[in-house]
């Protein structure tokens, strides 16, 4: 097994980056006056782990031939992806404040031809996993060692095309493909289990031939050690159910369906700023 340990210093650094990312996302969402905050705040810890500890990438050479690929199939959480990319150095952090504004490169859903580091244009749910299957197949054909990571929303997996893709990934034995489901248990119209039952969720993925692990998607140590341990089984695609809280980090937003796509403005803007600053202080950013 690969060395999956992470030292204390690195862990602290990643936690600090998560706080910085939440602060930057609050500012971007306030500047935009619209967007999808809930799923961005639930998925950002995993994104930070990916972009700062897991993915083999080069911000100075985004099209580097041997790089790992990350596809955000839940494209509505674009602000989280943009923030991770900007913090990692793919583009200037100031650009985040142009999110969803006229002539910005940062659309509500990411465009691969506009944003450095975005591997695939996404937004319509249920498309990303198939693209990941294609990339993983190509890597196998070319005998390349890089990995392909696809993050889905849990509500997104109500799309039938996800299960077509899941079936094919197992069929082609794509152990270079890692699916991550941001299981915040909330979709636009309410709780997933009220809208359309997903459970027994782990069993569904297992039955489709994936090796599945569940993690707390806000526990940085657990995120990193799990991601460092892929593939979980040779010859099988890996699936991580990342149990998260929608709106994590902003108390007024946490676990509330209405914050899937609500603007952070007026009284919420000030609360969000205050809470994001508090998070920064807690991890020593102002020390």
Partner 1 sequence: MTKRSMRIECGKYLAELGTQNKNIIALEGDLKDSTQSVQFGDAHPDRYFEVGVAEQNMVGIAAGLALAGKIPFVHSFACFISMRSCEQVRTTVAYPKLNVKFIVSHGGISTGTAGTTHHAIEDIAILRSIPNMTLLVPGDVTEMRQIVKASLQHYGPVYIRLCAGDVEDVYTNNEQFHIGKATKLRDGDDATIITTGIMMYEGVCASDILKQKYGINARVLQMASIKPIDLDTIKKAATETGKIVTVEEHNIIGGLGGAVCEIVAELGNASVKRMGINDRFSDVGTSSHLMKIEGLTVDEIINNVRSLVKN
Alpha carbon distance, N-terminus to C-terminus of the chain? 38
* Largest Cα span, the chain: 54
Q: What's the closest the beta carbon of residue 134 comes to partner 1, in angstroms?
A: 2
Return d(Cα 61, Cα 103) in angstroms, integer: 24
Return d(Cα 250, Cα 55) in angstroms, integer: 27
Nearer to partner 1, 132 or 249 (CB): 132
Binding span for partner 1 by CB under 8 A among 23-31, 43-51, 77-85, 132-140: 132-140
Q: Give residues with Cβ within 8 angstroms of 94, minimum separation 6.
A: none
What is the C-alpha R_g of the chain?
18
- In what helix (H) or strand (E) does residue 162 lie, and over which residues does it extend? helix 160-171
Restricted to residues 163-202, the positions that interact with partner 1 (CB under 8 A) are 164-165, 167-168, 172
Q: Which positions from 248 to 277 touch partner 1 by CB under 8 A, shown as an x/- string?
A: ------------------------------
Nearer to partner 1, 35 or 110 (CB): 110
Place of tokens 């991890």: 283
Q: Kindly tell me which residue out of 104, 107, 158, 161 binds partner 1, with binding defined by CB under 8 A.
A: 161
Q: Kindly tell me which residue out of 112, 196, 207, 274 binds partner 1, with binding defined by CB under 8 A.
A: 112
- Applying CB under 8 A, which residues contact partner 1? 69, 111-113, 119-121, 123-124, 126-139, 141-142, 160-161, 164-165, 167-168, 172
């Amino acid at each position: 097994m690969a060395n999956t340990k992470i030292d204390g210093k690195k862990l602290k650094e990643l936690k600090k980056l998560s706080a910085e990312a939440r602060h930057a996302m609050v500012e971007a969402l306030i500047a935009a006056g619209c967007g999808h905050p809930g799923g961005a705040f639930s998925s950002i810890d995993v994104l930070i782990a990916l972009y700062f500890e897991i993915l083999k990438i080069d911000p100075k050479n985004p099209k580097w031939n041997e790089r790992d690929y990350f596809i955000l199939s839940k494209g509505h959480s674009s602000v989280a992806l943009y923030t991770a990319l900007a913090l990692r150095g793919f583009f200037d952090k100031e650009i985040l404040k142009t999110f969803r504004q006229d002539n910005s490169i940062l659309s509500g859903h990411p465009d691969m031809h506009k944003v450095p580091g975005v591997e695939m244009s996404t937004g319509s749910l249920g498309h990303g996993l198939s693209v990941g299957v294609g990339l993983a197949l190509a890597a196998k054909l070319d005998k390349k060692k890089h990995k392909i990571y696809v993050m889905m929303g849990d509500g997104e997996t109500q799309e039938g095309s996800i299960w077509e893709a899941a079936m094919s990934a197992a069929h082609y034995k794509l152990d270079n493909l890692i699916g991550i489901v941001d299981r915040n248990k909330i979709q636009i119209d309410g709780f997933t289990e009220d809208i359309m039952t997903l459970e027994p969720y782990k069993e569904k993925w297992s039955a489709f031939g994936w090796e599945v692990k569940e993690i707390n998607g806000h526990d940085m140590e657990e995120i990193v050690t799990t991601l460092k341990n892929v593939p979980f089984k040779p010859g099988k695609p890996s699936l991580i159910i990342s149990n998260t809280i929608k709106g994590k980090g902003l108390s007024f937003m946490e676990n509330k369906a209405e914050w899937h796509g609500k603007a952070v403005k007026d009284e919420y803007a000030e609360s969000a700023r205050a809470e994001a600053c508090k998070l920064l202080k807690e991890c020593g950013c102002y020390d």
